[in-house]
Amino acid sequence: MTAVFTEATRQAMRRSLLSWYGQAGRTLPWRNEPNIYRVWISEIMLQQTQVKTVISYYERWLKAFPTVQNLAQADQQTVLKLWEGLGYYARARNLHYAAQQVVTEFGGQFPEDLEAILQLKGVGRTTAGGILSSARNLPLSILDGNVKRVLSRLMALDRPPAKALKELWQLSDQLLDIENPRDFNQALMDLGATLCKQKNPSCDICPWQSNCQAYQQGTPTDFPRKAPKKKIPTKKLVAAIAFNTQNKVFIQQRPVTGLLGGLWEFPNIEGELKPLLDELFPNAVYQQSLETVFHAYTHFKIELTPKIHTVKNSEGNHWVKISDLDQYPFSKAHLKIIEQLRKING
């Protein structure tokens, strides 16, 4: 079911949203920020992460890399270390790559038009709209997760948002206040994040209550419609925590592309540990198991059981003291193992 808003209704909706935003909008470090590089960083961090988590990462990042040139010159390990714990690590690798694109392809000047900015790795249409409306007040609409939820409810959309992107983009375009795109987009994001929440939306104080079909039907939380759930498989993994005679532990780096690319980890394998031990530490002696670690990624979950072994002959470079592990970027699951190792090692 498509909502049809007349231009007069759309104008009234813009006014009511902006008036609510004037009173209830959030104060955020990147808001009204004219530095387009900073706005870009915030937009990428916010793609899959909530504001309250992003703020401290954003501040630390800008201390380490105050300019796009600083980011372009950094080594990938430093970049990943600053991203550690934020998840979806391709975002960090893409930021790093795109900073190098800015330096090599755009003469060090962050691009300021839509076509150019879309050439940067990791920047799609909604991120480009977010950056250019926020930093330059350009009339470009957005369609992030929060906005999809608000618009789906306004329209009482009968399909999951992923199946109706064209209509959702159209509605976002139609509603956009081209006189004031910066505030309008920020207000729309705030509405989604603070009132039109997934659970328990605050419809009683929503400026768009009288325009919202889901509210009129009395069923806002029935929207957005969900795609049928796929069963998420669980992988049972075992990690070899190998200590050498100097009490150093073995770590390895994942390939730079793909899931958790470039991060460090303890060697691990699905199923039995023996083939991995035979390959890496044939004379390893089992000592003890640590608590199993659980973690959920987008398409699967893991149960990771760390098993401590001692090893007499240790070769290679990647034997590290427990106290030095924090110099390397690890995924959340392996950070949970490190926490346990620290407790054991005092």
Q: So which residues are the catalytic ones? A: 43
Neighbours of 208 (CB within 10 A): 21
Q: CB neighbours of 2 closer than 8 A, spacing ≥ 6?
A: 155, 167
Please give the helix or strand (H or E) that residue 11 lies within, else none. helix 7-24
Residue 214 binds to ligand SF4 (criterion: CB under 6 A): yes
Write down the least CB distance from residue 205 to ligand SF4, Å: 8
Write the DSSP assignment of 180-191 as a string of letters. SHHHHHHHHHHI
Residue 151 binds to ligand SF4 (criterion: CB under 6 A): no
Q: Which of the stretches 17-25, 89-97, 129-137, 149-157 binds ligand SF4 when contact is defined by CB under 6 A?
A: 149-157
Q: Which two tokens stand for residue 308?
A: 């401590």
Please give the helix or strand (H or E) that residue 287 lies within, else none. strand 285-289
Residue 206 binds to ligand SF4 (criterion: CB under 6 A): yes
d(CA 194, CA 23): 13
Over the window 155 to 194, marking each residue x when it contacts ligand SF4 by CB under 6 A and - when it does not, the resulting string is ----------------------------------------
Residue 220 binds to ligand SF4 (criterion: CB under 6 A): yes
Write down the least CB distance from residue 216 to ligand SF4, Å: 9
**What's the distance, CA 17 to chain centroid?**
27
Residue 293 binds to ligand SF4 (criterion: CB under 6 A): no
Residue 72 binds to ligand SF4 (criterion: CB under 6 A): no
Residue 16 binds to ligand SF4 (criterion: CB under 6 A): no
Residue 111 binds to ligand SF4 (criterion: CB under 6 A): no
d(CA 271, CA 269): 6
Q: What is the largest CA-CA distance in the chain?
A: 78
Residue 203 binds to ligand SF4 (criterion: CB under 6 A): yes
From first CA to last CA, the distance across the chain in angstroms is 61
Do 305 and 240 form a contact (C-beta atoms < 8 A)? no
Write down the least CB distance from residue 171 to ligand SF4, Å: 12
Write down the least CB distance from residue 150 to ligand SF4, Å: 5
Nearer to ligand SF4, 190 or 265 (CB): 190
Q: Using CB under 6 A, list all residues that contact ligand SF4.
A: 150, 153-154, 195-196, 201-203, 206, 208-209, 212, 214-215, 220
